[in-house]
Amino acid sequence: MPIVPRHVLPVLVLAQFAGTSLWFAVNAVMPDLQRSFGWPATTVGTLTSALQFGFILGTLVFALLAIADRFSAPKVFVLCALAGAGCTVGAWAMVASFEALLVWRFATGFFLAGIYPVGMKIASQWYRQGLGAALGYLVGALVIGSASAHGLRALADALPWPSIMLGVAALAALGGLLILTLGEAPQAQARVTTLQWQALGTLWTDARVRSSVLGYFGHMWELYTVWVLMPLILATRLSGVSLSWAAFFILGSGALGCALGGHAARRWGSARVAGALLGISGLCCLAAPWLLQASDAVFYAWLVVWGISVAGDSPQFSTLTARNAPPQAVGSVLTLSNSIGFGISIVSILLFVALTEWVPLGWLLTGLALGPALGLWALRPLVKEGL
């Protein structure tokens, strides 16, 4: 097995972080935009859902057309990073129109389909061994990139919102160009020339792939809804810049879970690690009614543990799917599972955000435990195999 050069993983991580920073770029400046244009608080959820819908459509198109398996994955990554950066510049230029902003964020989500899952495909080409650890760092970069919106928001007093939006666009473009420095992986699977319909069907027909993607779907019921609701949870004790910094560190702690989980998977297997983290995050959901009323020390410790566990299992689900999918269709299978998973996340986000007006927050959060419970049930065969 060829030795992977040391610079490959840092380049992949930096490129993934830069590219996925587009995810919540507009969310970071929404308070300023709401004050400037008189938009209601619900616009944050609407814009987030628009981007998620774009990502779902993008991943569905990329999967059905086998884009990541028929064409050079690094080139797909850079083209989508540049396009996503261009969409963010478009959003900046037309920000006064909420309808135009929705369209630009939808388009940004579409091109993110060529960044996040394609980045995992590139990692799977370089790392046939130790993929769980490599994806741990890669998804950790996604977590920090997503949490960076709150960090940017905390800096908003010093940085005007146009600078933040344009800065994120420039960062994404640089991340795309950075991936080109790697070239093609020496272990890359020969690109296919036909659509991979039968391979996509392994999500349902292959027992191992089905187990990993169903576990991932349970994880996605919880993950993004926690991220969207975290500022609301923190608002029970914090406000302003303090809230933004707390949200950044708590959600960003998921990167630690991804990295540590990746190393733990080398010893205990990806299925066991994913199951353990999924179980911990599920318990955090169930404990919400009591821990919301706890002392500050217990309250913040709970949120950090939740932040670490809710994201830490994600790379291990991707690892399990990549290992068991047909080799010639890894990119397409990962992309299709992302598409379905993000569809589930939209349903969860819209449902739980709507219910915040009717259900006490603590009891509402317990409903998120449904995802981890179903995910643990689906993972049982892979845990028994020790995968």
User: Contact 227/376 with Cβ under 8 angstroms?
Assistant: no
Dist CA 149 CA 136 (whole Å) = 21
Dist CA 66 CA 18 (whole Å) = 24
Q: Tell me what the mean pLDDT of segment 78-107 comes to.
A: 92
Residue 337 lies in a domain: yes
Higher pLDDT, residue 327 or 97: 97
Query: Which residues, in sequence order, are CB contacts of 54 under 8 Å at separation 6+?
Result: 105, 106, 107, 108, 109, 110, 112
Q: Tell me what the mean pLDDT of segment 195-218 comes to.
A: 75
pTM: 0.79
Dist CA 372 CA 68 (whole Å) = 30
What confidence score (pLDDT) does residue 331 get? 67
Residue 308 lies in a domain: yes
Residue 309 lies in a domain: yes
pLDDT at 135 over 60: yes
Domain at 203, CATH number: 1.20.1250.20
Residue 295 lies in a domain: yes
Which amino acid is it at 332?
A: S
What confidence score (pLDDT) does residue 106 get? 94
In this structure, how many other beta carbons lie within 10 angstroms of the beta carbon of residue 157?
Answer: 10
Nearest to 143 by CA among 296, 282, 17: 17
Dist CA 111 CA 138 (whole Å) = 18
Higher pLDDT, residue 198 or 59: 59
Residue 302 lies in a domain: yes
Residue 356 lies in a domain: yes
Higher pLDDT, residue 164 or 158: 164
pLDDT at 200 over 60: yes
Using the structure block, give the residue that is written with the tokens 């344009």.
166
Dist CA 348 CA 192 (whole Å) = 36
Query: Which residues, in sequence order, are CB contacts of 103 under 8 Å at separation 6+?
Result: none
Using the structure block, give the residue that is written with the tokens 């990139």.
145
pLDDT at 197 over 60: no
What confidence score (pLDDT) does residue 329 get? 66
Tally of structural domains, the chain: 1
What confidence score (pLDDT) does residue 340 get? 85
pLDDT tens digits, one per residue of 246-268: 888 898 898 889 888 888 888 88
Residue 3 lies in a domain: no
Max distance between CA atoms of the chain, in angstroms, equals: 59
Task: Tell me which DSSP letter residue 185 carries.
Answer: -
Dist CA 338 CA 340 (whole Å) = 6
pLDDT tens digits, one per residue of 57-87: 998 888 778 777 778 888 899 999 999 999 9
What confidence score (pLDDT) does residue 1 get? 47
| Four-point Cα dihedral 49, 51, 52, 55, nearest 10 | 160
Dist CA 314 CA 123 (whole Å) = 15
pLDDT band at residue 48 using 50, 70 and 90 as cut-offs: confident
CA angle 83, 85, 87 (to 5 degrees): 70
Nearest to 377 by CA among 237, 369, 242: 369
Q: How much helix, strand and coil, in percent to the nearest 5, is found in the chain?
A: 80, 0, 20
Helix and strand numbers (H, E) in the chain are 21, 0
Check residue 38 and give left, alpha or beta (phi > 0: left; psi -120 to 50: alpha).
left
The alpha carbon of residue 62 and the mean position of all alpha carbons in its chain are separated, in whole angstroms, by: 17
Which amino acid is it at 74?
A: P
pLDDT tens digits, one per residue of 281-293: 999 999 999 999 9
Q: Tell me what the mean pLDDT of segment 12-38 comes to.
A: 79
Residue 1 lies in a domain: no
Look up the domain containing 172 and give its range. 8-183+190-385
pLDDT tens digits, one per residue of 331-353: 677 777 888 888 898 889 889 98
Task: Tell me which DSSP letter residue 215 carries.
Answer: H
